[in-house]
Amino acid sequence: MSKIDKMSILGVRSFGVEDKDRQVIAFFSPLTVLVGPNGAGKTDAHETDVRAQIRLLFTDVNGEKVTIQRSMSCTQKAKNNQFKSLDQVITRIKDGQKVHLPSKCGELDREMISALGVSKPVLNHVIFCHQEESNWPLSEGKALKEKFDSIFAATKYIKALETMRQQRLKQSQTVKECQMELHYLKQNKEKAQQIKEMVSTKEAQLMASKDSIQQIENQIDPLETRMIDIDDQLGKVIKLDNEIQAVNSRKKQMEEDNKELEETMEQVFQGSDEQLQDVYQNHQRTVKEKERRLVDCQKELERAGRECQRLNRVKAELLVEQGRLQLEADRHSQNIRNRDAQVRSLSSYLEMEGYDRMPFSNLQLESFHHQVTQRLEQEKETLSQVLADLQQKEVLKQQSIDEMRDKKTGLERTVELKRDLQNKKQQELRNIRADLQKLEGSSTRLQELENELNKAERELQNAVQSSNVDELKAEVVELQREKTELDRKQRQLDQEMETLNTHTSARTQMDMLRKDKMEKEDQVRKIKSRHNEDLVSLLGHFPNKRELEDWIYAKSKEMKTTRDRLAKFNKDLASSEQNKSHIAAELRKKEQQLSADEEKFFNICGSQDLEQDLSKLQEDLEKVSKQRAMLAGATAVYTQFISQLTEDREPCCPVCQRTFPSESDLQEVISDMQSKLRLVPDKLKNTEQDMKRKERKKKDEMMGSNPQSIVQLQEKELPELRNRLQNVNRDIERLKGDVEEQETLLASLTSEEDTAKACLQDISLMDRYQMDLKDVERKIAQQAAKLHGVDLTRTIQQVSQEKQETQHKLDTMSSKMELKRKLIQDQQDQIQMLKSAVNETRADKLQLSSDMQKQQQLEEQCVEFTTEIQTLTRDIREAREQLSPLSATLEKLQQEKQEILERKKQKQEEGQEKVKILLSRFKFLQQKESELQETNTQLHEDIDTQKVQERWLQDNLTLRKRVEELKEVTARREALLKDMENHNLIKCLQAHKCFYLFFCRKQLREDQYDKADERYRNKMITMRTTELVIKDLDLYYKALDQTIMKFHSMKMDEINKIIRDLWRNTYRGQDIEYVEIRSDVSESTSAGARRRVYNYRVVMVKGDTALDMRGRCSAGQKVLASLIIRLALAETFCLNCGILALDEPTTNLDRENIESLALALVEIIKSRTRQRNFQLLIITHDEDFVELLGRSSYIEHFYRIRKNQDQNSEITKCSISSLSSYLH
């Protein structure tokens, strides 16, 4: 903790400027008092804004000695005084040597604050507070709030909170911006990812298409020529064959018809035309029914194929199930073997016969279970009987042990009581012997005390006879009378000085003129200080009115030029904006055109999935091609069938190889075939025309969509428009920058012009003050001329000289009185000390005589105690002899009981273990048997089911095999037809894929998709880190805010408690119980920022009523309350600095409150005496108050400050006793 040790003052106000006039104060602990009349220079000792030189030696918070030297100079000029600071030196002791550190005033102030361990507000407002500002706790609200905020250091913490809040808002805005950007970046990223995946897919598909095309081309190239020849020959052959077959069929049919007519003329149908028509329709229905049955058989065949596939899957599942069941059957067999092994092991363990051979039957197992159960019950009964016998033996042994233990305990208790009694007697015997030993030399000591007593009484008598206290008191009374006379003379001189000052009107007028001059100079200086920084920054120097007006005119012209440039830039910006709108509209038009062309292209293709459209068209072509091939072969097939039916002697159906039941059925079939054969050429022609139309349509749709216009827009027109738009945007940004720069320049010029105009009025006023100063200086010169040569019989200096001489005599008189009082006190102290020595010696003599009379009684007690101790020793020895055999017997019985318990525990554990083994094995066998039975039943059921399933699956497999063979033949036929038509389709798909890849890659090269992943990742990292920063700022803000609240509440409670105690101990009135500081908390909102504000006020409390003290209390209450509040603040905030200075604390206090204040300060000093560095510095002119403080034991000396003959202040160290004698 820091403290101040010494201070030297030179040249400050009334202190002398010569080295011989240097005054030094050594500060005491815990109390230093400075006493002197008003104007003597007391307060100069603790002011911080001083002149000349001050040195201060103090101990800093680390316990190191530090010396601070501050030097100033003031030079008298022609019109005023020039003040400047000289060297500021800090001296520390490092490694035993003094180290001098020169520094500036600001650095010196910071070093003082750091070394003393308190803040600057506490130093200025609490520790060292000037008398003029000592009542600041009752000042107006704004000033009071500023001081308390500075003491609590609330301003910097509020600034820290505000900084954190602003930073959090800034980071929150950053997060919002990041979230908005992330939304679009994520869309771009996902779109780019989709395009990349689509590009990868299309590239793979394109490579596959290229490979397929290459393979097909390799296969087609050698066959194309042959295919063309075959197609030509096939066409000719088919055409000729069709014509021949048609002619032959017609010829043969006509011949057969004629033949049939000839042969059947006798058997002509006798029915009517309607009957013949009915017969014909029945025949048609029969044919259709057979055709329908054929279609049903084909569908049933397809269903059988699907069923065969399903049965194959079921077969596979059943085979897996069969394997699982086989595994369970093996496990079941192993469980049976394990069970039999357990039965055999347990029967061997229990010595049971008949269970040596495995496997065991169910009857054997039931018999085994019954025997094991009986054996288990027998073992339980045997164990119970053994445990009961051991329990009975344990009870008997415990009874014997209890009897033996009771007997042993009684003997031990007897031995313990007698041992305690023996120890007590021995202790009393030792005390008696010690007292007797002390009394052995008492007779000699008694004689010595008698001699000392006689000697002390003689010294006391001599001291009383040689003292001259009465004479000294008479001299003090005479000195007091002389001092009173000098005081009266001093008051007369003061009155004379006042009279001289009143009648010197010329001097007064001169002083008034000089004061007026100083005020006007101060006004000029204030104006310069108020506007110096602004005007110097604008003009480079401080101008007069004329220069400032010229500068303002020049600034106005420059502002006009800037406005013209700004208007031009705005006009260019508007033109660029219009051009941008035109280009953007044209760009949107081209983009819409591109979108329409792409939509048209995809509409022609059917959809964007071109493969699906082409596949569907290809399927239609395959169906038509199959129909054409079927019709082309139908002519030859039907002609061949008709030839077989007409030429064979025993014709049969060429399809199913069945014979016809009658000739009419044969003719019906032939007639039906001939009618179908006649329709084949027309159907074939229609089918070929339909196929050619579909192929033409496919070719037109695939080749009709020309992508040249789309490519032109994408690669040339749109990029050019975008480049133009970018250039226009760059021009707009440049123009916006120019506009912003000119606006900034214009705002700066406007601000400078406004600043200069605001200063113009004060500059005009300053010119007028300077003219007034010249006039005042002229009047001062005139008044000085009038006073020149005036001769007064008695000057102020003469009266002042006489006052100094009288004051010197008064000080000399006070010193003599102090010396006389000290002599009186010394003689009184010596007599009192001798009386105390006589009384102490007499008391020692009486005590020693009393002790010698008790010696005989102590010797008798010594003999009696020795006999009793011997008797007790013998009794203890006998009790121990009886106790030894009892201990041995008890130990033996306890050992036997322990053996019984262990044997009982062992038997119980063996029986339980045996029963547990039997039970566990029995339960295991039962569980195994149950599991085996269930598994056996389940296996039999599963095996039966598997056999049925196996036969069913075998049949289905045979059926499926045949269906698959049929499908393979059909698929091979269709594949050969499809390979011929895939070539054009693959080429078309390849062209579409190439175009789509080009479009996707171009999109990926655009700026928004080029680095979409990297931008999204960087922006996400920025947002996440910023969110963490916001979270930490919230935590720090709340923690600091709560800490400030807690600290403020804790400190206010502590301060108010100290204020309440000090007020009750100091204030003697009944109208105020106590005072306290109220801090009203309000939530203020400034520009959207919400923060806590404390408003302070001092209230006086009486009962339940609290009123503000400001404006309602007396001057004495105001001084006392302010002083107590400062004491409480010092107690609370000066933890590292125990210094407190009170400047005129008794101002406006009545005598009763002065006395109570002195008592309160004494109590404070008393409570802080344990604090080694506590220092209370009191500056006062009230010597009665100092005398009240001097009644305590904490002050022995004080400093008296007065002026010498040269009117320089002098500091003299005086004893407090001299002040007490003077007052009395």
516-521: long-range contacts (C-beta < 8 A, 24 or more apart)? 516/776, 517/773, 517/776, 517/777, 517/780, 520/769, 520/772, 520/773, 520/776, 521/80, 521/773
What does the alpha-carbon distance between residue 1178 and residue 42 come to, in Å, rounded to a whole number? 10
Q: What is the pLDDT of residue 726?
A: 85
Half-sphere exposure of 1148 (CA within 13 A, CB side): 15
Cβ atoms within 10 Å, residue 636: 15
Q: What is the pLDDT of residue 502?
A: 55
What mean pLDDT is predicted for residues 565-580?
Answer: 83
Beta-strand ranges (E) seen in 586-731 are none
The SS3 assignment for 1085 reads: strand
What does the alpha-carbon distance between residue 724 and residue 576 come to, in Å, rounded to a whole number? 12
- Using alpha carbons, select from 327, 319, 332 the residue that is nearest to residue 946: 319
> pLDDT grade, residue 200 (50/70/90)?
confident
Cβ atoms within 10 Å, residue 1118: 21
Tokens of 248: 């032959």
Reported residue count of the chain is 1224
What mean pLDDT is predicted for residues 1207-1213?
Answer: 81
1102 membership: H or E segment, kind and range: strand 1089-1102
989-995: long-range contacts (C-beta < 8 A, 24 or more apart)? 989/209, 989/610, 989/611, 989/614, 990/206, 990/209, 990/210, 990/213, 992/605, 992/610, 993/202, 993/205, 993/206, 993/209, 994/206, 995/707
Q: What is the pLDDT of residue 256?
A: 64
Q: What is the pLDDT of residues 429-472, one digit of tens each?
A: 777 777 666 666 666 767 777 787 788 778 777 777 777 777 87
**Dihedral through CA 958, CA 963, CA 969, CA 973, nearest 10?**
-170
Q: What is the DSSP letter of 360?
A: P
Give binding residues as ranges.
653, 656
What does the alpha-carbon distance between residue 597 and residue 602 come to, in Å, rounded to a whole number? 9
Give binding residues for Zn(2+) as ranges.
653, 656
CA distances to 228, 230, 632 from 234, rounded to whole Å, are 10, 6, 10
CA distances to 598, 618, 714 from 706, rounded to whole Å, are 10, 22, 14
- Determine phi and psi for 1085, rounding to 5 degrees: -120, 120
What mean pLDDT is predicted for residues 323-341?
Answer: 69
> pLDDT grade, residue 676 (50/70/90)?
confident
Q: What is the pLDDT of residues 134-175, one digit of tens each?
A: 788 888 877 877 888 778 777 777 788 888 888 888 888 888
65 pLDDT above the threshold of 80: yes
Tokens of 1015: 């931008």
Q: What is the pLDDT of residue 743?
A: 84
Taking domain 362-433+855-979, whether its CATH number is 1.10.3470 is answered by no
Residues 6+ apart with CB under 8 A from 1085: none
- Using alpha carbons, select from 301, 120, 175 the residue that is nearest to residue 1020: 175
39 pLDDT above the threshold of 70: no
Q: What is the pLDDT of residue 266?
A: 47
Q: Over the chain, what is the mean pLDDT? A: 72
Treating both helix axes as pointing N-terminal to C-terminal, what angle do 1151-1167 and 1115-1133 enclose, rounded to 10 degrees? 10
What mean pLDDT is predicted for residues 1210-1222?
Answer: 73
The SS3 assignment for 30 reads: coil
Q: What is the pLDDT of residue 461?
A: 79
> pLDDT grade, residue 1088 (50/70/90)?
very low
Angle, CA 80 vertex, CA 77 and CA 82 arms, to 5° = 70
> pLDDT grade, residue 1192 (50/70/90)?
confident
679 pLDDT above the threshold of 80: no
Q: Find the farthest-apart pair of alpha carbons in the chain and give their distance in angstroms, rounded.
A: 206
Pairing mode of beta strands 1089-1102, 1105-1108: antiparallel
Q: What is the pLDDT of residue 1222?
A: 46
Please, which residues bridge with residue 659 across strands? 652
Residues 6+ apart with CB under 8 A from 217: 983
Pairing mode of beta strands 53-59, 3-10: antiparallel
Do the Cβ atoms of 4 and 45 come closer than 8 Å? no
How do the domains of the chain map onto residue ranges? 1-118+1180-1224, 362-433+855-979
Rg (CA), the chain: 66
What does the alpha-carbon distance between residue 700 and residue 577 come to, in Å, rounded to a whole number? 47
1197 membership: H or E segment, kind and range: strand 1197-1203
